[in-house]
Amino acid sequence: MSSFDDLLAQVGSAAARVAASLSRLSGVGVRVTAVRPHDDGDLRAQGASLLGMPSERDYLEAAVDFSIRGEDVRVFVNAQQGFVGLAGQLAHAVVDSGQEIMGSTPFPPCPGHAHPMTVGATSAGSVFWCCPGAPDTATAVLVESGRAGHRRSSEWPSDTAGS
């Protein structure tokens, strides 16, 4: 991936995969509404300078907007980490935000249990949903090793395309 447009396309595809998976597992409407570069201007540099930390960011950040049960959620990701890493990071972030929206209803529900599933990963590069009590056992696969891919936003399914 060389251009930021290509990186954003990869972020969008990973986000669409997470949204579709969460919708299917939870029965709750989850969709991607926007994917764009995130530029916080000088705020990060100013804060880092005040704390005596390096102010240079060595990665490109993207903002991803989701709608979960009609409520807006924004998450930020390192756009350069690759499809599998993006899917895992987005899944963690969206589940955390979604659980706040869903209250006491597990999101996504763990089959046969009263708690939500969590995100697991294998050393071979697969990302999956699992029971927190059995973190090495995939309940539903999010991204299989060797099957990761991405599409431009114009190629996303119509129910997940952002504006």
Per-residue pLDDT reduced to its tens digit, 78-88: 888 889 999 99
Where are the domains positioned within the chain?
4-152
List, in sequence order, the alpha helices (H) in the chain: 4-26, 43-50, 83-102
d(CA 125, CA 135): 15
Contacts of 2 (CB under 8 A, 6+ apart): none
Neighbours of 117 (CB within 10 A): 24
Give the distance, in angstroms, between the CA of residue 109 and the centroid of all CA atoms in the same chain. Answer: 18
Give the pLDDT confidence of 114-124 residue by residue, as tens digits: 999 999 988 78
Instruction: Supply the pLDDT for residue 163.
Output: 32
- How does DSSP classify residue 77? E
**pTM > 0.85:** no
Q: Rounded distance, CA 146 to CA 84, Å?
A: 10
